[in-house]
Every structure is written in structure tokens, then in C-alpha cells.
Amino acid sequence: MLISNKESPTATIVVYGSNGLVGKAVCTEALRIGYDVIGLGRTKNNACTKSIEIDFLNYDHLAEITHDLIEEHNIAAAFVFCHRSRVASNLSEAEALLQATAIDIYPYLALKEELNKTKRKGSLNVVTVTSNAAFRYAPDVNFDYHVTKHAQIAASIGLASVSSSLDIYSNIVSFGEVVDNSKQEHDPYHRQLFNTMRRCSSSRPVPTIGNVATATIMLCKASSIGICGQTFVIDSGLSSITQESIVRLLSR
């Protein structure tokens, strides 16, 4: 059991992909506001309270870890999925898609199976952090990426409906292009891209990875206000602007 120096146990969140760009930001924000963080990643994030190195293609190991997280610890406040697939470059398109789907979906399946079996009571929040490629098609982005992002959304929504003694609240944070606020300066391509985006969003700043992390941590308490099955879009309102307006703005 993860216990802090306080008189009562600190709430814990589990972060998948804890050493990726977004995962690190989520872990940092969670630790900042007082959560214990169990990080799962291809490599360890030593800033976490506990860090577990894992191969996301090893389903048996995932299932074992998930069992331990549910049955051997206090129920975590939330499971946060912000991992993404990374496959070998020498695979055929079909092989790459199958492997990417397995990497992206196995953690959900392992959690689903454990939720079906557990007899524990309480509530569990699930937060899926994913790009808006799951909702809007980008022709210049890899086809397989869109497929696996859609699969993650389906898995996330499905978790809210599994038969379990726990009450599951599953929600999604969807983001588009975001500023990496860990960088002092961006390359010329990204500077031009961000300037163009600002022209289309009424001069509001382009969202940062920190904004994504903040929204994610907010949803780690979704059960306290009954939020479930919702998608929270982090894009400074850009997706609410009409296509015609965007074209006119960019033509000026």
C-alpha cells in the first residue's frame, strides 16, 4: 500500500505511458497537487512514487500488474491511459496495424477483465488522453494511427459499461496541436504553425501540454460529480469555428 507521511493514505493514480511527453506532464501535475503516482512505461519515470517498466505487448504481465493494482492496493482514484503505440519499422502495414492495436488496447482489456472479477466496492475513474485524430480525420497523418485512436475511444467508453462491483466513470481528453511548454523555443515549422492557429482562434493562446495535464487530473475526480462518457476537447475553441471562417482567416 502506498502511504505518504500524512496521517491518512494519499490518493493514487495509475498512469500508462508515464515516460512519454504527455504522460510525464500528467505525472508531474498529479504529484504537484499531492497524488501518489504509479507510472507504467517502456522505461521508468523515477519522478513517480512507483515506476514499473513494462512491454505493452506482454499481455500476461499487464494482466498480472493490473490484478495487483486492483486487489493488493487501495483502489486508485483513477487509471489514466496516455500511452501510444510504437512499432518496428520493418513490419508490413498489416503487421504494424495489428501490433499497434495490441499495444494501445491491451491495457484496457487487462483492466476490463480485472473489473469483471473484483469484489471490491467503491468507484474508479478512467481517463483516456488521446489526440483528436480519434474524432477528426487528418489526411496527412498515418492511417493506422487513426484506427488505433478510434479503438482506444471505443475501449474507454466500453469500460464505463462493464459488469463490476466498482462504479466506473470513464471520460476522454482529446487534444489537437499543443505547445510543448517544456521547450524554451520551438523550431521554425512549429512557430509558423502556432502563429497560424492563433489567427484562427480569436487570438487565444494555443493550448499547452500543461493544459492537457490539468484537464486530465480534473477528470480523476469525475466520480465526485457524476461525469461519465464525456469528451473534453482541449483546442482553445478552434474546433468550434466554422470551416468557412477558417478559410477566410487564412486567406487574409
What's the average model confidence in pLDDT over 162-169? Answer: 95
* pLDDT for residue 224 is more than 80: yes
Q: What distances in angstroms separate CA 189 from CA 101, 118, 185, 192, 196, one per listed residue?
A: 30, 49, 12, 5, 11
List 81's β-bridge partners, or say none.
Answer: 16, 128
Secondary structure letter of residue 76 according to DSSP: P
pLDDT at 196: 63
pLDDT at 183: 62
Q: Which CATH superfamily is domain 12-182+206-239 in?
A: NAD(P)-binding Rossmann-like Domain (3.40.50.720)
What's the average model confidence in pLDDT over 139-165? Answer: 90
Integer Cα distance of 131 and 134 in angstroms: 6
pTM value is 0.85
Give me the percent of the chain exceeding a pLDDT of 90: 60
Query: pLDDT digit string (tens) for 31-70?
Result: 999 999 999 999 999 999 999 999 999 999 999 999 999 9
pLDDT at 193: 59
What's the average model confidence in pLDDT over 102-117? Answer: 96
The strand order across the sheet containing 78-81 reads: 50-53, 36-41, 12-16, 78-81, 123-131, 167-175, 231-234
pLDDT at 23: 94
Higher pLDDT, 76 or 5: 76
**Sorting pLDDT into bands at 50, 70 and 90, what band is 1?**
very low
Average pLDDT, the chain: 85
* pLDDT for residue 5 is more than 50: no
